[in-house]
Amino acid sequence: MSAKVAIVTGSNKGIGLAIVRRMCKEFSGDVILTARDESRGRTAVTLLEGEGLQPKFHQLDIDSRDSIAAFKEFIEKSYGGLDVLINNAGMAYKKASTAPFIEQATNSVRTNFTGTLHFTRAVLPLMKPHSRIVMVASRAGKLNIVKPHLQNQFSSPSLTEPQLVSLMDQFVQDVAAGNHEAKGWPTTAYGVSKVGMIAFTKIIAREMTASGKIDILVNACCPGWCRTDMAGDNATLSADQGAETPVHLALLPAGSPTGEFWGEKKTIQW
Ligand SMILES: NC(=O)c1ccc[n+]([C@@H]2O[C@H](COP(=O)([O-])OP(=O)(O)OC[C@H]3O[C@@H](n4cnc5c(N)ncnc54)[C@H](OP(=O)(O)O)[C@@H]3O)[C@@H](O)[C@H]2O)c1
């Protein structure tokens, strides 16, 4: 039988790198550090090797269909399946950014929502019995950032993936038309992208439960406010502390909740 394997997207730095560090210590199998930029990824692997750890490396850009396909082929050939998928890759504009809001909306939704969705869909057939999927979302994506009529749509237990994709497209179109606030959206592209990611988590969790596949748990979390390039130096937690809840979800025992939103290793209200 092939070795067990865990993969972490966007793990050349920040919380992703800290997740790989911890998984190398706690997961009994190979841990694959991935990065869209090969040299940044290899540098991160060398750093962890210096700490006595042995992550593997593979290139992965979740915005690229070709990169996703090559990664999937690598996992299929090398391992035949997947035990842990941690979707950590993400991007955010700084508060002070002067980029036009339509640019922020387009790019935030593209990577944080669409990229995560495409990558998850690609590798979903490889998930083994007892596997775990973890989405590193954020409290910035709490449901109440959108108005009640949108909350009802995002949180509907019958929401389908095509309906979710059109909701996210609608956000970008409303921003382009300059009427997103009148339509019930907030002026945080990052937040909306994470609302979409959490809604997607629930769709995949329902799908795995209905599929009858044995003990596949799918959960989203907020890692907390962590000192990384994304959040800056004033954040209250280290990246290693931010890795705690994602790793907890990656190693959940059978019978644990699925389709939930977590913070500090507990389920919390979305
Ligand atoms: N830091 C916080 O306080 C905080 C709070 C809540 C949630 N989060 C979430 O935690 C996750 C990690 O954040 P972080 O603070 O560690 O951020 P970070 O230091 O900026 O790291 C983000 C990682 O994602 C990678 N990435 C970006 N776009 C990618 C793509 N298209 N394909 C593959 N990888 C990509 C980056 O690669 P490059 O190095 O190539 O850019 C980097 O490795 C994100 O999803 C973020 O939204 C963070």
The model's pLDDT over 181-230, given as tens digits with 9 standing for 90+, comes to 999 999 999 999 999 999 999 999 999 999 999 999 999 999 999 999 99
For residue 148, pLDDT beyond 80: yes
Whole-number Cα distances in Å, 41 to 45, 60, 147: 6, 10, 40
| pLDDT value of position 15 | 99
CA-proximal residue: ligand 1, atom 21 (nearest): 14
49-92 pLDDT tens trace? 999 999 999 999 999 999 999 999 999 999 999 999 999 999 99
Ligand 1 and 229: CB distance under 6 A: yes
Q: Quick check: CB of 237 below 6 Å from ligand 1?
A: no
Please name every residue paired with 56 in a beta bridge, in sequence order, or none if there are none: 32
| Whole-number average pLDDT of the chain | 98
**Any atom of ligand 1 within 6 Å of the Cβ of 63:** yes
* Among 46, 48, 42, 172, residue whose Cα is nearest residue 106: 172
Q: Given pLDDT bands bounded at 50, 70 and 90, which one contains residue 1?
A: low
The whole-angstrom separation of Cα 20 and Cα 115 is 20
Q: Is the pLDDT of residue 2 over 80?
A: no
pLDDT for 10: 98
Kindly tell me if the per-residue pLDDT of 139 is higher than 70. Answer: yes
Annotated active-site residue in 57, 71, 119, 190: 190
DSSP assignment letter at 266? E
Atom of ligand 1 nearest to the CA of 15: 16
**What pLDDT score was predicted for residue 147?**
98
- Could you tell me the fold of the domain covering 5-98+108-139+191-268? Rossmann fold (3.40.50)
DSSP state at residue 237: B
Measured torsion, CA atoms of residues 17, 22, 25, 31, in degrees rounded to the nearest 10: -50
Average pLDDT over residues 149-153: 98
Active site residue 190: yes
User: In this model, does residue 248 exceed pLDDT 80?
Assistant: yes
In angstroms, what is the C-alpha Rg of the chain?
Answer: 18
